[in-house]
Structure 1
């Protein structure tokens, strides 16, 4: 008989088969946890098929992606201890069955697209130490049950849509070090219980809707280093004087919090390095007590401070940024602030004293070249010595600190090998050294500095030290300041003078970064991992680490699995082939065939035609992305430019939204509605093909980053076009249609900035007369739409009417005039505009980027928007009334302004002015205006400046 090592093959096979049967019978992972993982997968949408390994084998022994297990002593089963699924493009909801993973230490779903609530069942996992759910679209309130987790030391739920109060039960989290809850819609007061937590280091609650007075109990904190609470509404609150007793605080940031009163003495905080109290209503003089010597940034701008600039800001060796802009400070410009600073390398100092009433420059006044001093808007720029002040009095907008890139590699090097993505190691001691790096997306969430350049070397030394790397192994490819302010960095890690990292080294680095097992110096604050790019290492890198198993057990499991795989492969192959054949047969039955749909005037495209139009859906053709899927710019065979909206897997399969949009748009024809050219519905693909709108969405042109802001007349034309499009839906479509999702991103602009309403996936037909001929006043339906645009009555009663669209358009009108978003920094646009309107002073909310907007037109426009946004449905105007009023405002514009709006729109599109042969110009609404009176320059004779 054949043998191996003295044992018959048959005996070996018998043992392995018995072992495998035992493994299967024992269900290596605890059965309850297997069920929990399957329930979690069922609730997730996985368009990139990242969880394909979750369809086979045992979670802990079959390398389920992101599932990390350990063996518990005296327990026959393996247990899931980490669920690490960050940045995988997952959507869907987080199943409550996650609470059954009783041994879980780490729950990580960062940077996905999860919606729904955070399950309260998470409070059952008493072993949890890390919860990282930031960067999703989670909503609802924070569960009180999280307060049961005594071992939890990090909670990251930032950048979601979570509302409601911060639970007082969080005061029981005695192991908590890091609360990251910024960029949500949390409301109510900051619970005083949080400041009694013994080891709390970082409390980030900025950009929420928190209110109430600032808690004096903050002074009782024993370990807090960072309090970042910008962009909240502590209206009427002052900064408690007892904050001077906080011995551990490094950073205090309370920007834009509606704070009042005086600035207390904070010189008793021994290590305070960063103070931002800007954009409040603080009064009185600046305290004269000397701040800590390690301070880097002080921002007291945009308050109501008076008196002089005291001398206590001199001799601060680490100061990078000092701003008193937009206060009422008087007296002399200080001349000694930069004393004690050694300006070497990239070291610099920015002093922003703009828009005060400073009136004197001292005789001995010689700022170093590394000092930027801004004095625009002070008396000293009009008096004193104009020649000396001239270079300091230019108006300057102070934006974020400079971004940057790493050093470039010498071009004299020979090319690196093309396989495995080799690159030059920029800092290697070996010249022209080629290696394969790891890419790391890394962000400092609350840095204690204003300018990274002079701290770059310190960061390199600090981060490589905790990662156990040499400094030359780290290359900072680029860094960019973001809102917060936060510092986003793209890092590359190179192997240590070898071409490749070992897989164990890759795993070690990933575990350190993803597990928050490194601690940076306090000056850099908390960090977060945005991505960890394996690149060429991906094929070699295991997706799961199953720890705690001895080699013998692993060998047995592996052998049993191999035997099972051989035994099952034939059966499973036949099953898969049959299933795929059946699936293909089903998929070729288009979704449209399941519904009785009349489609006229639109084309049915094949998948091949769509692939050709987009160069196989190349990334360079992608122009947008949403919950539905991606949008590509394409070019049809006849040269027509189109926008192709391609559903990702599971997004619309089996739903009627795809059918609804085709059915509605195929019979709607109006110059202010986007045109549907065709669709593709085959081979598990659903695509909608629209006319291409080269100027994007209205929201694009209202954003702060838009380089060519719309003027008032242009905004008025866009508003009128949108109103006419919706009016057509309400009154001329047969039967009438309620759009249900009117918003700035669903108003598209063509090459001449004609507004076209888009996205009819949520639209509903208006109610039909009943058997007695009576027309119901509403449709009862599940609430759908976009927060900030939703009609309050529809939200509360589920009764959809044409006035629901009126409310949404009213929000768009307010956006057009203010540039604000519907909900931003915890503030609602309707409430903010109402407050300003009732005060009689709307100048502070008008978008300052408009070059012309006289008060009478602004008031009329805002009044119409607010009428549309009344809570009482009956008090809102009909769409016909809105269109008439917008047309009346447009007609009242001076003819020169009307002409300029059209000229500007056509110029921005093509760079040339299109003029008809008959001294008339066609506007975006189709009317003609005589331009024979216009000056040769085309500039109107009357121009009123923005009232701000």
Structure 2
């Protein structure tokens, strides 16, 4: 009883005052519009409050004007809405106390008798204790708001009986326990707001069944674990997970979100490239997490974005002055990351009112006003956390993956320290050499000790149905390391001819099998000038950073040194092995077993090619340009993801210090492009030729074919759909939407333009191809019941 009295004393007097005025009026002047039963309920509530009975200036109950504290609505003879809002700021009202006999349970039990009530809103009334289960009797209730009270304990499961409930707001209380699994039994639920409570545990997987959900706000709780796969919630527009412990993987979401806030959680790994296709997104806040890997500059140009906050992470990459931005951006916070380059000029300008707010301090940008770190800081930090964007599916072994990832990062850090020590000690770098004396291999003890565990994380994770891109970059690849020559001899049967893949004048490529069973490609480069290995450290350091999910990534290197220590005789570069043929095999039917790619798969592959080139241009300092890329250089891995196998490695500089194969000559260099071609636009032309093959489904072997097909595509753009479809691969005629075909054809035409200045940027290519994929998805949703997803969605045919 004492506890009950205490509760009554602390109940907000403001709301009670308004409610009691209403009830007293009904007791003295019953409304003729109400059913007797409704009136009796209100009379009992008035008696429960035991408020004085003198009231004047009465009006008809159902016709009362709403006030900020009280809103009542009727339909015919029944109350349908009741809004009572507390006003704790009113010092006069705050002096009033509820009678000691007041009972919260009795109050809610009487309210529950108003069976026709559709809207019940009782914020800021000071209620305490558990939320009464009697609310479940309001079977017609569509909106329930009891925010800003002191309700505690678990959310009562009896609320699952409110099958008509569309909005549930329990914000700013003291609810404990987990987010209820039974929420999935509310089929009409569109707004769920549980922010500022004491909830713990993880979000239940049953949340994925709330297909009508538009707003999900669970911010400022103690929730942890992975966010369920919410990509099926196509109506979801607002997702707010701020200030919890979610992570480490980025949530899997649909691209129609308007607001996404995951600030101050435990998310890590990379941010997914799919964010670049969230064209309706207005607010994006991923700050104060542990994201690493490349930042997506395409976010600047999202057409609807006004608020962008990525601060407090370890995102890398180079910004350029000429990057494009959405003119609607009003707030941008890039601070406390590892960004380099120059702030885009579009972020330096403001609108006519000067309202753009841009924060970018504590990066490594140059020529900027806000405080920056030295370039070496971002470089070292990026080496220590080399992890890149993730895919849309996750391994089923998060604990194992996290452990592996941590180990991988640790090894990378050790390797970085070794490189730094080498730079300081010069000749001590010789300890990394494998020496040959009288035909007998001699390897330093230190090098053997530096070898990592024989357990290959790539092999351990191969059986996962779909590994995220982050894991593919970090945990699915061993840390970059120095190999012993003896390892490479073992892997290739002492460089036997049966292991030879390719041979040139001064270079050879071998297929090898390491002791853990993983397959690799070993490139042997014969040095013309015998130099101290220290001379190659800057090149090797750049190569060690060529680890991206759409590149054939580097795994390590080995220096073979002459017995008299006069220099390096051979350099071995070790790369991952990619088993599933070339992109031409899958689009032109060039002999590789398996069905030709669908139109959706072709767009996905083209996006991955463009992203690979984008990484080469912006992921390193300086970028890697003029890669002379052909469709036969685009390989497919075991999950049919693109891996670009041939690019302009930093080690292949024309300095006469090493002999390598003569550079490949592309269609662009042989026939079309002048000497004034920009380096980045050379790669754009090569992407265009690849797009041509993807569209027509047959090899493009000469410049004449490029010119003819470009002209044909231009004619097709101004023709009707039937004419356009006569141009493309006959196998695709019935498989693609005309709109997506037009987008791909248009970007292809721009890429193969003879004038470099008229070609699109790589960022524009990625954006347009992603838009084409979105259009194709929409078309398939309208016309097909069963859709085979493309590799980029991580739903390969083997999973269906």
Shorter-chain TM-score: what band?
Answer: 0.3 to 0.5
What TM-score, normalized to structure 2? 0.37
| Higher helix fraction (1 or 2) | 2
